[in-house]
């Protein structure tokens, strides 16, 4: 019999939608898959070349240290010095199989049964299940500001002691970016309590139209603090498939995570670690050229999506690569469905566009559209959506 723990887990809504889309593509149907958070750019060549060289030099026939190669940890230490002028040590770093495993391990290391974890809604799909797996109690705060960001005032309203606050800036799925003051307020609030703050900064290098990204590393030291940073190479370097992410935290938290990941994976894949070293220590101009392309796509697609009848994005995203339009109230009944989840399946079946529904992000009534795709593809998707939604207006 499958365990109750496993039965309680929902599949990742984004991956589930993407799989449906891929199955239809296999059947020869021309589906536009805007369901999953991956770039359409290739991993830059200096990175792939370094990975091939690592294979040829046989750097792959042994286990690396569980929490990553010292050389990669040093590259991360140097990278945060360069990006944020922050001074951290290698024992503040654990490298994991993607930022996703960093977050999973963090939940396991920080959360006791029934501990309260707070996040703004909408929130990234995997936080929900990872918190569940650790036995924690998730309280989502449907932030009442229009950008859907968590504030210190929201935290003050929670009556139970909070063990962990998760702040994802830039946010998946809204693209909201927290200001320096907003992050400072939350960190200061947590400092006086036994509350840890996980800052998921995986989209930190993808901000647009002059938006300033603030990293927690610019505001607080890591050692002796309750601040935890999660980052990785997936999004900034178009390296989602390589599966390299990391956590930066006090050496006490890192030591606990090291123990755990040693049993989960032994180590992140060696060749991917060498690729990540090349990413962090090589030329950085590919990040900027991809960022500029996403910015252009955002600016064009934001206006075009807002012209689709029945869909509306109130606040223009400042970062990441998603739009999170609200579906007009009357659309569901007109389309004969009872939820945006059902609507997303109907859109996939009839318009052949894969957009995961807000339900997976703790926010029914919305759809998520990834725009890390060529503009022509985005335009075709918008045209199909326009035809689909016009039927119900």
The contact set with ligand PMP (CB under 6 A) reads 37, 98-100, 124, 168, 172, 200, 202, 232, 234, 240, 245
Q: Looking at beta carbons only, is 246 or 389 nearer to ligand PMP? A: 246
Tokens representing 280 are 């962090």
Q: Looking at beta carbons only, is 126 or 310 nearer to ligand PMP? A: 126
77 C-beta neighbours (distance < 10 Å), count: 20
Q: How far is the CB of 235 from ligand PMP (least distance, A)?
A: 7
Q: How far is the CB of 324 from ligand PMP (least distance, A)?
A: 12
Q: How far is the CB of 18 from ligand PMP (least distance, A)?
A: 11
Q: How far is the CB of 334 from ligand PMP (least distance, A)?
A: 32
Q: Looking at beta carbons only, is 172 or 214 nearer to ligand PMP? A: 172
Q: How far is the CB of 171 from ligand PMP (least distance, A)?
A: 7
Q: How far is the CB of 271 from ligand PMP (least distance, A)?
A: 16
Q: Looking at beta carbons only, is 100 or 226 nearer to ligand PMP? A: 100
Q: How far is the CB of 97 from ligand PMP (least distance, A)?
A: 8
Q: Looking at beta carbons only, is 133 or 337 nearer to ligand PMP? A: 133
Q: How far is the CB of 313 from ligand PMP (least distance, A)?
A: 18
Q: Looking at beta carbons only, is 240 or 284 nearer to ligand PMP? A: 240
Annotate the chain with three-state secondary structure: CCCHHHHCCCCCHHHHHHHHHHHHHHCCCCCEECCCCCCCCCCCHHHHHHHHHHHHCCCCCCCCCCCCCHHHHHHHHHHHHHHHCCCCCHHHEEEEEHHHHHHHHHHHHHCCCCCEEEEEECCCHHHHHHHHHCCCEEEEEECCCCCCCCCHHHHHCCCCCEEEEEEECCCCCCCCCCCHHHHHHHHHHHHCCCCEEEEECCCCCCECCCCCCCCHHHCCCCCCCCEEEEEECCCCCCCHHHCEEEEECCHHHHHHHHHHHHHHCCCCCHHHHHHHHHHHHCCCHHHHHHHHHHHHHHHHHHHHHHCCCCEECCCCCCECCEECCEECHHHHHHHCCCCHHHHHHHHHHHHCEECCEHHHHCCCCEECEECCCCHHHHHHHHHHHHHHHHCCC
Question: Residue with CB nearest ligand PMP?
Answer: 98
Q: Looking at beta carbons only, is 37 or 365 nearer to ligand PMP? A: 37
Q: Which residues pair with 33 in a beta bridge?
A: 354
Q: Looking at beta carbons only, is 11 or 161 nearer to ligand PMP? A: 11
Q: Looking at beta carbons only, is 84 or 361 nearer to ligand PMP? A: 361
Q: Number of C-alpha atoms within 13 angstroms, CB side, residue 108?
A: 16
Tokens representing 202 are 């995986």
Q: How far is the CB of 207 from ligand PMP (least distance, A)?
A: 14
């Amino acid at each position: 019999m499958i365990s109750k723990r496993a039965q309680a887990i929902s599949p990742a809504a984004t991956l589930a939608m993407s799989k449906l889309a891929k199955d239809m593509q296999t059947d020869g149907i021309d589906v536009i898959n805007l369901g999953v958070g991956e770039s359409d750019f290739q991993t830059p060549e200096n990175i792939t070349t370094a990975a091939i060289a690592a294979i040829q030099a046989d750097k792959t026939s042994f286990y690396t240290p569980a929490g990553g190669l010292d050389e990669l940890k040093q590259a991360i230490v140097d990278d945060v010095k360069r990006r944020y002028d922050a001074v951290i040590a290698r024992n503040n770093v654990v490298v994991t199989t993607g930022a996703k495993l960093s977050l999973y391990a963090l939940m396991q290391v920080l959360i006791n049964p029934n501990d309260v974890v707070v996040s703004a809604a909408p929130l990234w799909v995997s936080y929900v299940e990872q918190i569940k797996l650790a036995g924690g109690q998730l309280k989502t705060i449907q932030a009442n500001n229009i950008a859907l960001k968590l504030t210190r005032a929201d935290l003050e309203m929670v009556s139970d002691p909070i063990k962990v606050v998760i702040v994802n800036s830039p946010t998946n799925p809204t693209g909201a970016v927290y200001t320096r003051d907003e992050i400072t307020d939350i960190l200061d609030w947590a400092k006086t309590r036994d509350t840890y703050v996980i800052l998921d900064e995986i989209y930190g290098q993808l901000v647009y139209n002059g938006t300033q990204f603030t990293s927690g590393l610019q505001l607080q030291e890591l050692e002796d603090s309750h601040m935890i940073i999660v980052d990785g190479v997936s999004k900034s370097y178009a390296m989602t498939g390589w599966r390299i992410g990391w956590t930066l935290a006090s050496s006490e938290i890192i030591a606990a995570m090291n123990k755990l990941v040693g049993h989960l994976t032994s180590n992140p894949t060696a060749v991917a670690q060498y690729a990540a070293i090349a990413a962090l220590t090589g030329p950085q101009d590919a990040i900027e050229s991809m960022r500029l392309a996403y910015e252009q796509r955002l600016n064009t697609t934001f206006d075009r999506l807002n012209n689709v009848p029945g869909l509306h994005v109130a606040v223009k995203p400042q970062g990441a690569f998603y739009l999170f339009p609200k579906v007009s109230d009357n659309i569901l009944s007109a389309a004969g469905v009872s939820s945006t989840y059902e609507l997303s399946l109907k859109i996939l079946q009839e318009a052949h566009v894969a957009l995961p529904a807000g339900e997976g992000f703790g926010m029914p009534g919305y759809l998520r559209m990834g725009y890390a795709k060529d503009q022509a593809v985005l335009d075709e998707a918008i045209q199909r959506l326009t035809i689909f939604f016009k039927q119900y207006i």
